[in-house]
Amino acid sequence: MAEKVKMQLAEPDKVVKEGSFSGVVLPAYAGNLTVIPGRAPSIIWLNPGVVRLLNADSEAEEKYFVGNGVAEVADDFCKISAEHIIAFKNITLTEAEKLIPEAENKDIAAFYQMIRDYLTAFPAG
């Protein structure tokens, strides 16, 4: 069994992040799901939320806001495809609030609203 999970995080037109992590926490529709080495093959429908990339101490090394998407897990590889992805470190509450009314459609507005709600509820991250 591998000690790490290989992960690829991608939007429809580009790969946003690749790497190996101790675990990957996904915002699944049934609740958060942690992918660890040795997990059975799965296809997971993602709810808009936060993907957490875990280090050896099971702490979030990096976080990404994701829109609707899907994750495929097989052979210690987690491939995540989402409509929208923004690194946690690349957006602030003020920016999210500004982007909601500027969004080109209701799905993108809902994505920024989710970010706003998360940053309001968990200001320290």
Longest dimension (CA), the chain: 47
Residue 2: pLDDT band with limits 50, 70, 90? low
Give residue for tokens 């003020």: 94
Chain segment 91-109, per-residue pLDDT in tens: 999 999 999 999 999 999 9
Among candidate residues 78, 82, 91, 72, the one with its CA nearest the CA of residue 49: 82
Residues 80 and 99 in one domain: no
Residues 16 and 44 in one domain: yes
Residues 55 and 18 in one domain: yes
Q: What is the span of the domain harbouring residue 106?
A: 91-121
> How are beta strands 49-54 and 5-11 bridged, if at all?
unpaired
pLDDT above 70 covers what percent of the chain? 98
Residue 77: pLDDT band with limits 50, 70, 90? very high
Q: What is the per-residue DSSP string for 56-95?
A: TTS-EEEEEEE-SEEEEEETTEEEEEES-EEEGGG--HHH
The answer, yes or no, to whether residue 1 has pLDDT greater than 50, is: no
Residues 108 and 71 in one domain: no
CB 64 within 8 A of CB 87: yes
Residues 117 and 81 in one domain: no
The pTM of this model reads 0.93
Residues 80 and 101 in one domain: no
CA dist 61 and 63 (Å) reads 7
Q: What rounded mean pLDDT belongs to the chain?
A: 94
Chain segment 36-74, per-residue pLDDT in tens: 999 899 999 999 999 999 999 999 999 999 999 999 999
Total domain count for the chain? 2
CATH code, domain with 39: 2.60.15.10
Residues 69 and 29 in one domain: yes
